[in-house]
Amino acid sequence: MKINFSPPDITELEINEVVEALKSGWITTGPRTKELERRIATYLGTPKAVCLNSATAALEMILRVLGVGPGDEVITSAYSYTASASPVVHVGAKLVLIDTAPNSYEMDYDQVAAAITDKTKAIIPVDIGGVPCDYDRLFSIVNDAKHLFKPSNDIQRALGRIPIVADCAHSFGATYKNLHTGNVADFSSFSFHAVKNFTTAEGGAATWKHIEGIDDEAIYKEFQLLSLHGQDKDALAKTKIGAWEYDIKGTYYKCNMTDIMAAIGLAQLERYPKLLKRRQEIIKRYDEALKDCPVSIVEHYTDEHMSSGHLYLVRLNDATMEQRNELIERMAEKDVATNVHYKPIPMHTAYKNLGFSIDDYPNAYNQFKNEITLPLHTNLTDEEVDYVIHTFKECLGVL
Cross-strand bridge partners of residue 23:
none
Does residue 180 bind ligand PLP (CB under 6 A)? no
Contact yes or no for 201/10 (Cβ under 8 A):
no
Q: How far apart are CA 184 and CA 297, in angstroms?
A: 25
CB of 265 to ligand PLP, least distance (A): 13
Radius of gyration of the chain (CA): 21
Of 34, 94, 121, 196, which one is the catalytic site residue? 196
Nearest Cα neighbor of 372 from 330, 315, 323 is 315
Is residue 230 left, alpha or beta, with left meaning phi > 0 and alpha meaning psi from -120 to 50? Answer: left
CA dihedral of residues 105, 111, 116, 117 (deg, nearest 10): -140
Nearest Cα neighbor of 158 from 75, 217, 221, 215 is 215
Near ligand PLP by CB under 6 A: residue from 29, 77, 80, 363:
80
Near ligand PLP by CB under 6 A: residue from 21, 49, 51, 55:
55
Does residue 199 bind ligand PLP (CB under 6 A)? no
Does residue 84 bind ligand PLP (CB under 6 A)? yes
Q: Is 196 an annotated catalytic residue?
A: yes
CB of 308 to ligand PLP, least distance (A): 12
Does residue 200 bind ligand PLP (CB under 6 A)? no
Does residue 149 bind ligand PLP (CB under 6 A)? no
Nearest to ligand PLP of 198, 387 (CB atom): 198
Does residue 184 bind ligand PLP (CB under 6 A)? no
The SS3 of residue 208 is strand
Near ligand PLP by CB under 6 A: residue from 6, 77, 171, 191:
191
Near ligand PLP by CB under 6 A: residue from 126, 184, 269, 306:
126
Near ligand PLP by CB under 6 A: residue from 3, 61, 83, 260:
83
Compute CA 336 distance to the chain's CA centroid, rounded to the nearest angstrom.
25
Q: How far apart are CA 278 and CA 378, in angstroms?
A: 6
Phi, psi torsion values for 22, nearest 5 degrees: -65, -35
Nearest to ligand PLP of 30, 130 (CB atom): 130
Does residue 167 bind ligand PLP (CB under 6 A)? yes
Number of shown-chain residues binding ligand PLP (CB under 6 A): 14
Residues that bind ligand PLP (CB under 6 A): 54-56, 80-81, 83-84, 126, 167, 169-170, 191, 193, 204
Q: Which residues are catalytic?
A: 196
